[in-house]
Amino acid sequence: MTGFGLASTNSESVKFSVEIKSLNSKFLELGLKIPRAFSDKELYLRNICNKEIERGKVSIAVTLERSEEVQKGAAINETLLKKYYTQLVEANKALGADITNLLPAVLNLPEVITYTEEEASESEWKVLEATFEKALKHFNQFRVDEGKVLKADLELRIKNILGFFAEVEVLAPLRTPTIKVRLTQFLEDTIGKANYDQNRLEQELIYYIDKLDITEEQTRLKSHCDYFMATLKDKDANGKKLGFISQEIGREINTMGAKANDAQIQQLVVGMKEELEKIKEQLLNVL
């Protein structure tokens, strides 16, 4: 499920910022970037995320900005710098190369410049922890707001399916007399009215119509749709459960279409399938 949360806090000479983003994923995939000064707190922050974020491909960036007065300086290893520089000058002279811009190249060599390791105080950690929780709260609220929109759309799709279903309920009983007339007319045109057994025809019609009966599918489809709507109202995260219910809805729709033997009902089944596909797409965003 998508989501976004941002929070920042200014504390004395330090500014903390926490940004949380997420994309759809079946599981929790967590990427966490924090300043080296707080590396010992990474496991703690991950545990918080595991409790608060159920699933999604989540990217969290924690940044720390210190004022110039408290920034740690960089130290130059003069001995190593001179050694590198002398060796490069001699090598360039031997090759007849230009030695004008050697210093910038030497400064980029390993261990010539070292940075003092930043250390974080306990008070700074408390501020960062509060900022992190604030960003997480904004992130979850974003998901809640998006969830309300998704819920409204899913309810609309189910209502559309039930609308098509209501039309199927009207058309389904009309198939029996139509089938009887069609088969009787076919026999009369093919072999003549006097050349077939009326009783045998009635037996075959009963068998044939029983094969086309969709009463059970209608009952189960209505039950699954009602269950889907009830599950939507549950406060718990039921994305996977809704996915299973949608599979059952699809199974009944497919069976109904296969047994319909009616052009109008087939068109309504296509409409139900279209709505169901939209439901499945949206369920990828539901926790």
pLDDT band at 173 (very low <50, low <70, confident <90, very high): confident
pLDDT band at 70 (very low <50, low <70, confident <90, very high): very low
Residue 147 CB contacts under 8 Å (≥ 6 apart), including other chains: 1, 286, 287
pLDDT at 72 over 60: no
Residue 254 CB contacts under 8 Å (≥ 6 apart), including other chains: 273
User: Ramachandran region of residue 26, left (φ > 0), alpha (ψ -120 to 50) or beta?
Assistant: alpha
More confident residue, 73 or 64: 64
Place of tokens 């087939």: 266
pLDDT band at 271 (very low <50, low <70, confident <90, very high): very high
The model's pTM? 0.64
pLDDT band at 54 (very low <50, low <70, confident <90, very high): confident
DSSP state for residue 72 in the 8-state scheme: P
What SS3 string covers 159-171? Answer: HHHHHHHHHHHHH
pLDDT tens digits for range 214-256: 888 999 999 999 999 999 888 777 888 999 999 999 999 999 8
- CB pairs under 8 A, 24+ apart, for 107-112? 107/76, 107/81, 109/84, 111/77, 111/80, 112/76, 112/77, 112/80, 112/81, 112/84
Give the pairing of strands 28-33 and 3-11: unpaired
Residue spans of the domains in the chain: they are 3-70, 74-115, 142-283
